[in-house]
Amino acid sequence: KGEFKGTEFKLTDHLPTKQKFPHLKAFEVDELVNYGLAGQNAPSIQMTGVHLELNDYHAKMAEKDTVIIDVRNHYESVIGHFTPPPNGAQLIDPKMRKSTEFPLWLDKPETKKLLQNKQVLMYCTGGVRCERASALLRTKMETEADVKDLNIKGVYQLQGGVDKYFKNFPEGGYWKGKNYTFDKRFAHAPPLLEVEERYNKKMSETTPPDSKDVPEKKNDDNDDNSNHNIMGKCEACSKPWDMYRGKRRCPNHGTCTEGKDAVQ
């Protein structure tokens, strides 16, 4: 009712107690996604792109003359992102360290060249960042002559984000790697791959090493990850690494590691 009418709440069941938020906090901010464009400079939320449901977005990723902009930060994209099929869309990572860099990236001549005569898809973790990103692009398409001349064929965004996509494509669909989250899950793979990882880890811990029942390791596993699902790597030792947990160290290299800067 009221202010929350039409809001799509995301619920995650069966989380361990240590991963749950203990409290709900609500507070006022100038910008929900900080672009440095508050007040009169803010693009209208009425200008957002077309919200595509999961199957429609999935199908569009296979279309030619299409680009997909990952509007998350680079450290999120490097450990997991969409990999469109051959002859399908082109994935673009703006390589942002923070959201304030997105408007600057959008204004670059090389960015405009990538978007020319294309339909533009956007995605993020839960859909919120796409609201601002798509609104900003569509506002520029109507108010800036050079952007209008790009002949962009349409702006679309993934309704509910990667989080919702996983629920509809539990085997991963076109996704590869893990989805970084800003909660105590830290990062998670599509549900069926998570189940496979937990099973393989349990079997490895409980089955004698010489048993034929031990799952075959696809890489050198460590205690926390199954490397076949790791896309990031430690910038110092180049070993598979996607653990963004404060100052946790790379298990393969004792000196690499201060969080998000340690992955490339």
Residues known to be catalytic: 124
Q: What share of the chain is helix, strand, coil (3-state, %, to 5)?
A: 35, 15, 55
* Best CA proximity match to 43, nearest among 151, 143, 155: 143
Dihedral over Cα of 90, 91, 96, 99: its sign: positive
90-92 sheet: strands from edge to edge? 50-52, 154-158, 119-123, 66-70, 90-92
At 165 the three-state DSSP class reads: helix
Look up tokens 């669909």; give the residue: 173
DSSP character at residue 129 = H
* Best CA proximity match to 153, nearest among 141, 143, 161: 141
